[in-house]
Structure 1
């Protein structure tokens, strides 16, 4: 079982509004687990929660803005990974100047 923390504990520790946390869950930016009517967030998602809370409370970014920024950062990471793979493939060629593109 993944390590997790209850939503009530998150609200207490991080001083986050319950409605903001619910909005993150409703927009599927966070994926809670439920056990015995208690909702939990797995530790792996806490870094996302902290980032979203910083954007919202410190930078005054609304939920649609958070969704867009999160999506763009994910796309950027995918592009970086794809670029890395392409560079690895290119480096496999000894005489890559002779390859027809």
Structure 2
């Protein structure tokens, strides 16, 4: 990974006023992945939207990590079902059925 592809956890937390422990807990729950470089943890840039979503759930809606984990799991299931619906609609359109 290039230095532009990651941000130090401490820098991110300082900038967005969230606790380091919250980010590390997200990693422990398997909700995000952090990168270890020279004994320091970094956030890959592609993980930032997920952290922002989870931060909103936690800090603004007071949802604990177990709740965030459940919500994340349900959202993944919804996205998978939406993809399956899209594929089924695509197959049906071959036969001139559906919208």
Instruction: Tell me the TM-score normalised to structure 2 length.
Output: 0.90
For residue 77 of structure 1, what is the aligned residue in structure 2?
Answer: 79
Shift of residue 81, structure 1, vs aligned partner: 0.4
CA distance in 1, matches of 2:51, 2:31: 9
Structure 1 spans left out of the alignment, 5+ residues: 97-101
Runs (5+) with no aligned partner, structure 2: none
Q: Output the CA distance in 2 between the equivalents of 1:36 and 1:20.
A: 21
Alignment counterpart, residue 18 of structure 1, candidates 7, 20, 31:
20
Q: TM-score, normalised by structure 1?
A: 0.89
| Aligned counterpart in structure 2 of residue 41 of structure 1, from 11, 18, 43 | 43
Q: Greater Rg, structure 1 or structure 2? A: 1
2-structure distance, mates of 1:59, 1:52: 10
Give every structure 1 segment of 4 or more consecutive aligned residues whose post-TM-superposition deviation is greater than 6 Å: none
Paired residue secondary structure (2:83): helix
- The count of aligned residue pairs is 95
What's the C-alpha RMSD, in Å, of the aligned pairs? 1.2
Shift of 1:30: 1.1
Secondary structure at the counterpart of residue 61 of structure 1: coil
